[in-house]
C-alpha cells in the first residue's frame, strides 16, 4: 500500500516558557512545576494515591489534555483523562481490553497499560496505548474509548513474536515505544520487551520485525528475526528516518531506509557498559542523545554501575560518549532509571530530567553538565515527561 | 439487593460501602452495578469474564467463583478484596 505522506506541521521551536514534569510512580502521579528559568520547582500531588501509574502524557496538539495509565495492586487497569491540565479527571468509558476469546479458549487480559503515545498531528483525538501483555490499542476520541489494533493483537504471528509470559520483564511483558512518523500518520514503530522492534506502514494493519543487527544474547540464535528486548526506542522528530534504541543488549542507531541497527554503545567505557533503560534525544539535533547506564553484568544488578550514577551523552550520533555526572552522587548511590523516567525539554540549552527507582528527581538545565536534585522521598518513579506549561 | 463494596472501589460509589443493585444472577448484578456506577465492573472482572485475582465475591457469606451464580432479592452480596503486596 502506498504511504500517505503529510508534511511535518511545524519545526520544533526553542521553548522559553515554564517547564512542568509529569511524573508517574508506583504509588501515584505528581506534577513538578518549574519557573521559566528552571531554577525553582514546586511539587503538586499525589494524584491517584496508591495507584500504580506507569505513564502520564500531555497531548502536544492541545497542550491541556493529559492521559494517565493506572491500576492498583489488584484492580483492573484503566486510563484517566484530564481535559484541563490535571485539574479534573475522568476515567475512560472503555479502557483497553483484548477481544473476548471463543468459548473454551484461554483469552488474554490486559494486566496494565504501560505506554501512551499521542497520535499524529493531523489526527486530533487519536492516541495509542501499549499494554502488558503486549498489545496495541487506539483511541479516536481523546482517550474516552479504546479499541484493539487487530492488525497486531490478532496477528497470526503475534504469539511467536512476543514469546511466552516468561520471556517478558519481571512484572510482565510490555509493549512500549509506540512511535508515529511525523510525515506519515500510517507509519508506526513499536518496541516490545520481549519481541523486538516492529514497523507498520499501513496504520497498524500489518507489521514486520526490524531487528537486524541487534544482539539477543539470551537467545540461542544470534541472528534471530524477532524476540529481542528493546528497552526504549526513540525517533527524531526532525529527522524521522533516524531511530535510536537502548536495548537489553546495547545502544543502537538505525538510519532508514536502512534496516540494520548499528551498535553505537560499543564506544561506551567498558567499565560502564552500554546496558540501561532510558534514551532521550535532543529535540532539535538528531546527532545528540543521552542514556543512563545501569549494571547489566553477571546477575544483572540493575543499579548504577559501581554505585556512581551518571548520564552519558553523545553529540555525534554515537561515535563517542561523554560522562555527565556533575552534581550527581559520587558513590554509594545504587538507584537506576526506568525506561520512561528520563525526558528532555525544548529550551536552549536543553533541560534533561530523570526520576530514580529511589524516588528522586534530578534536573540539568545545561544538557547534562551539572545536575541538581529537585525532589526526593517520592515513590519508585516509573515515568517523567517534560512539557512546557500552558501560558 | 444489598451489595457490599470494598474501599478500593468506593471511588465509583461516591464513598458508599453498601449499595443497591438488581439481578437474577451475578452476571446481571454486575451489569446493573456498572450501569449505576460506570467503570466499576472492569476493575473487578477482566475482558475474558474472569474474576480478577484477589477479588472475591461472597453471596450470603459463601464465596461465588462463577458469575452464573443465581441470586434472589433476599441475598446479600459482598465484594471483598484481599490486599497483599507492598
Angle made by CA atoms A101, A165, A109, in degrees to the nearest 5: 30
DSSP 8-state symbol, A288 = -
Residue with cell 475474558: B48
Give the contacts of A295 (CB within 8 A, at least 6 positions apart).
A273, A275, A301, A302, A303, A304, A305, A306
Helical (H) or strand (E) element with A131: strand A127-132
Closest chain A residue to B56, measured at CA:
A74
Burial of residue B14, with CB atoms counted within 10 A of its CB: 0-12 exposed, 13-18 middle, 19 or more buried: exposed
* Residue range A302-342, pLDDT digits in tens: 999 999 999 999 999 999 999 999 999 999 999 999 999 99
Report pLDDT for A169.
74
DSSP 8-state symbol, A278 = E
Nearest to B48 among A78, A92, A101 (CB): A101
Nearest-Cα distance to chain B for A182, in Å, is: 33
Could B48 and A106 be called an inter-chain contact, meaning their C-beta atoms sit closer than 8 Å? yes
Report pLDDT for A2.
43
Q: Quick one: which of A321, A305, A311, A376 has its CA closest to A344?
A: A311
Could B44 and A91 be called an inter-chain contact, meaning their C-beta atoms sit closer than 8 Å? no
Closest chain B residue to A72, measured at CA:
B8
Could B48 and A109 be called an inter-chain contact, meaning their C-beta atoms sit closer than 8 Å? yes
Closest chain B residue to A94, measured at CA:
B39
Q: Give pLDDT < 50 ranges for chain A.
A: 1-6, 9
d(CA A263, CA A253): 7
Closest chain A residue to B54, measured at CA:
A74
Residue with cell 542507531: A253
Q: Which residue of B41, B46, B54 is the best one to mutate when testing the A interface, meaning the one whose CB has the most A CBs within 10 A?
A: B46
Could A76 and B39 be called an inter-chain contact, meaning their C-beta atoms sit closer than 8 Å? no
Could B52 and A74 be called an inter-chain contact, meaning their C-beta atoms sit closer than 8 Å? yes
Could A74 and B54 be called an inter-chain contact, meaning their C-beta atoms sit closer than 8 Å? yes
Could B8 and A74 be called an inter-chain contact, meaning their C-beta atoms sit closer than 8 Å? yes
Other Cβ atoms closer than 10 A to A365: 21
Could A74 and B47 be called an inter-chain contact, meaning their C-beta atoms sit closer than 8 Å? no
* Residue range B8-29, pLDDT digits in tens: 999 999 999 999 999 999 999 9
Q: For A317, list phi and psi in degrees, rounded to 5.
A: 60, 25
CB A80 within 8 A of CB A58: no
d(CA A224, CA A214): 9
Q: From chain A, which residues contact B within 8 Å (Cβ)?
A: 72-76, 78, 91-93, 95, 97-101, 106-110
The end-to-end CA distance of chain B, in Å, is: 34
Cis bond before residue A46 (omega within 30° of 0): yes
Q: Hey, which residues does B20 pair with through a beta bridge?
A: B2
Sign of CA dihedral A265, A173, A243, A283: negative
Report pLDDT for B85.
63
Sign of CA dihedral B20, B21, B23, B28: negative
Q: For A162, list phi and psi in degrees, rounded to 5.
A: -90, -20
Closest chain A residue to B55, measured at CA:
A74
Nearest-Cα distance to chain B for A360, in Å, is: 19
Q: Quick check: B68 pLDDT over 70? A: yes
d(CA A138, CA A97): 11
Q: Which residues of A135-154 are buried (b: 16+ CB within 10 A; e: fewer)?
A: bbbbbeebbbebebbebbbe
Report pLDDT for A5.
45
Could B9 and A72 be called an inter-chain contact, meaning their C-beta atoms sit closer than 8 Å? no
Q: Quote the pTM value.
A: 0.94
Q: Hey, which residues does A372 pair with through a beta bridge?
A: A363
CB contacts < 8 A, A to B, total 56
Nearest-Cα distance to chain B for A96, in Å, is: 9
d(CA B31, CA B37): 10
Residue with cell 487487530: A150
Amino acid at each position: 500500500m502506498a504511504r500517505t505522506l503529510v508534511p511535518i506541521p511545524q519545526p520544533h521551536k526553542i521553548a522559553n516558557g515554564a517547564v512542568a514534569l509529569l511524573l508517574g510512580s508506583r504509588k501515584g502521579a505528581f506534577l513538578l512545576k518549574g519557573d521559566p528559568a528552571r531554577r525553582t520547582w514546586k511539587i503538586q500531588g499525589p494524584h491517584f494515591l496508591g495507584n500504580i501509574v506507569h505513564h502520564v502524557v500531555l497531548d502536544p496538539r492541545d497542550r491541556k489534555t493529559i492521559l494517565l495509565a493506572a491500576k492498583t495492586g489488584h484492580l483492573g487497569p484503566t486510563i484517566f483523562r484530564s481535559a484541563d491540565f490535571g485539574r479534573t479527571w475522568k476515567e475512560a468509558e472503555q479502557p483497553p481490553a483484548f477481544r473476548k476469546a471463543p468459548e473454551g479458549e484461554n483469552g488474554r487480559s490486559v494486566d496494565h497499560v504501560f505506554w501512551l503515545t499521542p497520535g499524529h498531528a493531523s489526527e486530533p483525538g487519536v492516541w495509542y496505548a501499549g499494554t502488558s501483555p503486549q498489545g496495541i490499542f487506539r483511541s479516536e476520541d481523546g482517550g474516552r474509548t479504546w479499541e484493539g489494533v487487530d492488525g497486531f493483537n490478532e496477528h497470526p504471528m503475534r504469539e511467536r513474536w512476543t514469546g511466552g509470559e516468561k520471556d517478558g520483564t519481571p512484572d510482565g511483558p510490555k509493549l512500549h515505544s509506540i512511535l508515529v512518523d511525523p510525515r506519515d500518520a500510517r507509519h508506526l514503530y513499536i518496541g516490545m520487551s520481549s519481541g523486538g522492534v516492529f514497523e507498520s506502514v499501513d496504520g497498524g494493519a500489518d507489521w514486520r520485525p526490524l531487528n537486524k543487527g541487534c544482539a539477543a544474547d539470551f537467545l540461542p540464535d544470534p541472528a534471530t528475526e524477532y524476540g529481542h528486548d528493546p528497552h526504549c526506542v526513540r525517533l527524531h522528530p526532525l529527522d524521522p528516518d533516524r531511530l535510536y534504541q537502548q536495548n537489553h543488549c546495547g545502544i543502537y542507531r538505525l538510519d532508514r531506509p536502512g534496516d540494520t541497527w548499528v551498535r553505537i554503545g560499543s564506544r561506551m567505557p567498558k567499565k560502564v557498559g552500554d546496558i540501561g533503560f532510558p534514551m532521550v534525544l535532543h529535540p532539535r539535533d538528531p546527532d545528540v542523545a543521552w542514556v543512563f547506564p545501569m549494571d547489566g553484568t553477571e546477575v544483572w544488578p540493575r543499579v548504577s554501575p559501581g554505585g556512581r550514577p551518571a548520564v552519558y551523552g553523545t553529540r555525534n550520533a554515537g561515535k563517542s560518549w561523554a560522562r555527565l555526572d556533575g552534581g550527581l552522587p559520587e558513590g554509594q548511590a545504587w538507584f537506576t532509571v526506568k525506561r520512561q523516567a528520563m525526558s528532555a525539554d525544548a529550551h536552549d540549552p536543553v533541560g534533561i530530567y530523570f526520576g530514580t527507582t529511589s524516588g528522586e528527581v534530578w534536573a540539568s538545565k545545561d544538557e547534562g553538565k551539572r545536575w541538581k536534585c529537585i525532589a526526593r522521598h517520592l515513590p519508585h518513579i516509573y515515568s517523567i515527561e517534560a512539557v512546557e506549561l500552558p501560558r | 439487593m444489598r451489595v457490599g463494596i470494598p474501599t478500593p472501589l468506593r471511588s465509583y460509589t461516591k464513598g458508599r460501602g453498601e449499595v443497591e443493585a438488581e439481578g437474577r444472577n451475578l452476571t446481571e448484578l454486575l451489569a446493573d452495578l456498572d450501569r449505576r456506577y460506570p467503570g466499576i465492573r472492569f476493575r473487578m472482572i477482566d475482558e475474558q469474564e474472569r474474576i480478577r485475582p484477589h477479588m472475591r465475591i461472597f453471596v450470603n457469606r459463601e464465596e461465588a467463583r462463577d458469575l452464573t451464580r443465581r441470586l434472589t432479592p433476599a441475598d446479600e452480596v459482598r465484594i471483598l478484596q484481599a490486599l497483599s503486596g507492598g
